[in-house]
């Protein structure tokens, strides 16, 4: 079974390959540079994006939209994570968190899949954790150097992709997606 993953982020793609290969699903990266609407809902952004992609590609395709939600910042940057990362980056988030005691945060991931002529279906995943006091680690991408998942002391960037993929928000969403695909194939 083969599906396309529309993304411009190679880090995301590596993680998707890692998870989906366990289910015998082959994934191909396609960088369609699809437009991302502004919305408070990751799900709405992903559904809109996958509709745009499937119309152009005419193949089964999924997109994944994710965000970092910091409790003390009332969920910021959330759906605006990509923009915030590109503008103020990890340093900017650490600055906003200076002197803040409650460092709890979570990553959310929404996978939206669609086939030509079909309706989009979505799958979500979450991982809770905290914002580190400083950037640590070289692996991964994005906010990985400042995010410490629950039950660990290391940031995601201090783990390899395989270890991150045991617990990440993206893995959880992708596993639900893969289980759905596999069950459907069996019917
Ligand atoms: P797409 O082409 O797939 O849209 P993107 O990097 O723009 O790739 P998003 O729109 O989903 O991804 O933006 C999410 C932002 O949050 C982006 O800056 C990512 O670097 C960051 N992010 C998402 N998942 C992450 C993870 O697992 N670890 C660290 N940062 C993450």
Catalytic residue among 31, 33, 40, 65: 65
Tell me, in angstroms, the distance from the centre of ligand 1 to residue 63's CA. 11
Is the pTM higher than 0.85? The answer reads yes
Looking at the chain, how many residues does it have? Answer: 187
Q: What is the pLDDT of residue 71?
A: 98
Q: Does domain 2-185 have CATH number 2.40.160.10?
A: no
Residues 67-88 have pLDDT tens digits of: 999 999 999 999 999 999 999 9
Query: In this model, does residue 186 exceed pLDDT 80?
Result: no
Q: Whose CA is nearest to atom 22 of ligand 1?
A: 142
């Amino acid at each position: 079974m083969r599906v396309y993953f529309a993304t411009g982020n190679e880090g995301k793609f590596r993680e998707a390959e890692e998870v989906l290969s366990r289910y015998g699903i082959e994934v191909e990266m396609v960088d369609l540079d699809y437009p991302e609407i502004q919305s408070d809902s990751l799900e709405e952004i992903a559904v809109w994006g996958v509709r745009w992609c499937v119309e152009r590609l005419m193949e089964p395709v999924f997109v994944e939209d994710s965000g970092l939600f910091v409790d003390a910042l009332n969920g910021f940057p959330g759906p605006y994570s990509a923009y915030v990362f590109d503008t103020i980056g990890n340093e900017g988030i650490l600055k906003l968190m200076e002197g803040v005691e409650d460092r709890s945060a979570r990553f959310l991931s929404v996978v939206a899949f669609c086939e030509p002529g079909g309706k989009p279906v979505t799958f979500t995943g979450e991982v809770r954790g905290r914002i580190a006091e400083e950037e640590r680690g070289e692996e991964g991408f994005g906010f990985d150097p400042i995010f410490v998942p629950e039950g660990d002391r290391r940031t995601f960037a201090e783990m390899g992709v395989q270890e991150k993929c045991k617990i990440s928000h993206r893995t959880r969403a992708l596993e639900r997606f893969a289980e759905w695909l596999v069950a459907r194939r069996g019917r």
